[in-house]
Amino acid sequence: MLKIDNISKTFNPGTINAKTALKGLSLNVEDGDFITIIGSNGAGKSTLFNAISGVFFTDEGRIILDGQDITMMPEHKRSRTIGRLFQDPMLGSAPGMTVEENLALAAGSGSWLSRTSRKEKQMFREKLSLLDMGLEDRMKQPVGLLSGGQRQALTLMMATINPPRLLLLDEHTAALDPATAVKVLKITKEVVADEHITCMMITHNLESALEYGNRTLMMDSGNIVFDVAGEERSKLTSEDLLNAFKKNVGHMLDNDRILLEKN
């Protein structure tokens, strides 16, 4: 489904500010995979997502999606098949437009705003009701009036209203309060399963990394240092992940947010 072959990326090459963010990274993602990704700040997690979504072109290697080489494909063309959510709930939706208008724009039917059909409005209402946040009764309200959790759930709905081939979730619950984060994660799990979406999710929570999806990766210094799935993964604890990281890298994971949420 997604094949990443030996990609590398160095920012500011040839200067004192040179930073190698990805180092010969390779990864095969199977159709239907839901992969969680853990790593310290600077490990290359978001950089990997930027490479996949086309924010920049890699220096080396290839990225293949559904058999098509997208390595040099512009970001706006990749966005037709790759959806993405960010940590900031304020990104991904237009605050001055209503809930209904945002969904109509995301649906891309060409009949948004005043020409949104009754059938489309009913479909939006049904999808919003699945969020269990009351947004189906606030379709005429500007998105800027919603809470962070409501906006992130709406953005998730927008990103999947036309199910993408690949969904990238970049710590999309990190800015939410714990109760709302759990709710958005539950919605995420249901949407990904219902729409059969291949998904990659960056998280700083070790328990979430093992609870959600079917496969977990750990990253360090621009590469994947641990990859576990199936029965082996089902038996792991948060402590096991930390020990596996230390064994493969030679030092303990040093991300305070991850360690504080370990228990």
What are 108-144's pLDDT values in tens digits? 855 455 577 888 889 999 999 988 899 999 999 999 9
Cα–Cα dist 202/18, whole Å: 25
**In what side-by-side order are the strands of the sheet with 166-170?**
82-85, 166-170, 198-202, 34-39, 215-220, 223-229
Say if residue 107's pLDDT is above 90. no
- Token look-up 């095969």 returns 28
Query: 111 with 66, same domain?
Result: no
Say if residue 156's pLDDT is above 70. yes
Cα–Cα dist 55/50, whole Å: 5
Cα–Cα dist 56/53, whole Å: 8
Say if residue 32's pLDDT is above 90. yes
Query: 129 with 201, same domain?
Result: no
What are 78-94's pLDDT values in tens digits? 999 999 999 998 888 99
Q: Global pTM? A: 0.93
Query: 110 with 220, same domain?
Result: no
Confidence bin at 7 (pLDDT 50/70/90): very high
Contacts of residue 11, defined as CB under 8 A and 6 or more positions apart, other chains included, come to: 17, 18, 19, 21
- Name the β-bridge partners of 3: 28, 64
Say if residue 12's pLDDT is above 60. yes
For the chain, give the percent of residues with pLDDT over 90.
Answer: 79
Domain membership of residue 1 (yes or no) is: yes
Say if residue 77's pLDDT is above 60. yes
Query: 107 with 59, same domain?
Result: no
Mean pLDDT of the region 214-224: 97
Domain membership of residue 15 (yes or no) is: yes
- What confidence score (pLDDT) does residue 59 get? 97
Total domains present in the chain: 2
- What confidence score (pLDDT) does residue 37 get? 98
Domain membership of residue 188 (yes or no) is: no
Q: Which domain holds residue 41?
A: 1-81+164-182+196-263
Query: 171 with 249, same domain?
Result: yes
Say if residue 262's pLDDT is above 60. no
With contact defined as beta carbons under 8 Å apart, do 238 and 203 qualify?
no
- What confidence score (pLDDT) does residue 120 get? 87
Q: What is the domain-level CATH number for residue 33?
A: 3.40.50.300
Phi and psi torsions of 214, nearest 5°:
-125, 0
- What confidence score (pLDDT) does residue 251 get? 85
Query: 244 with 148, same domain?
Result: no
Gap between the terminal Cα atoms of the chain: 35
Query: 241 with 111, same domain?
Result: no
Domain membership of residue 143 (yes or no) is: yes
Query: 9 with 126, same domain?
Result: no
Query: 75 with 17, same domain?
Result: yes
Mean pLDDT of the region 60-64: 98
Average pLDDT, the chain: 92
Domain membership of residue 74 (yes or no) is: yes
Query: 156 with 177, same domain?
Result: no
Query: 8 with 111, same domain?
Result: no
Query: 142 with 26, same domain?
Result: no
Say if residue 183's pLDDT is above 60. yes
Say if residue 254's pLDDT is above 80. no
- What confidence score (pLDDT) does residue 178 get? 87
